[in-house]
Amino acid sequence: MPQSPPMTGPAFHLFLPQMRMTHEAIVDRALAAEAAGFEGIAFMDHLAPPLALEHDMWEAMSIAGWVLARTSTLRAGHLVLCDSLRHPAVLARQVTSLDHASGGRFELGIGWGSVPEELETFGVGATEPGERADRLAESLEIMRRLWTGGVVDHLGEYFTLVGAQQRPVPTRRVTVTVGGVGKRTLEIARAHADWLNVPVHHLDKLDDLRGRIGHLRVSTQPMVALLPDEASRDEVTALTRRRFGAGAMGRNLVIGTVPELAGYFEGMHKRGVERFYVWFADFAPVATLERFAEVIAKIQATPAR
Backbone phi, psi, residue 76, to 5°: -135, 145
Q: How far apart are CA 39 and CA 200, in angstroms?
A: 20
> For this structure, is 187 an active site residue?
no
| 263: CB partners within 8 A, 6+ apart | 256
272 DSSP 8-state letter: T
Catalytic residue chosen out of the listed positions 13, 34, 46, 107: 46
Q: How far apart are CA 45 and CA 233, in angstroms?
A: 33
The region, left, alpha or beta by phi > 0 then psi within -120 to 50, assigned to residue 138 is alpha
Catalytic residue chosen out of the listed positions 55, 87, 117, 120: 117
Displacement of CA 24 from its chain's centroid (Å): 21
SS3 call for 32:
helix
The region, left, alpha or beta by phi > 0 then psi within -120 to 50, assigned to residue 85 is alpha
**What is the CB neighbour count within 10 angstroms for residue 245?**
11
SS3 call for 85:
helix
With beta carbons less than 8 A apart as the criterion, state whether 75 and 40 touch. Answer: yes
Task: List alpha helices for 193-232, DSSP H.
Answer: 206-213
With beta carbons less than 8 A apart as the criterion, state whether 255 and 236 touch. Answer: yes
53 DSSP 8-state letter: T
Backbone phi, psi, residue 11, to 5°: -105, 145
> For this structure, is 269 an active site residue?
no
Residues that are catalytic: 46, 117
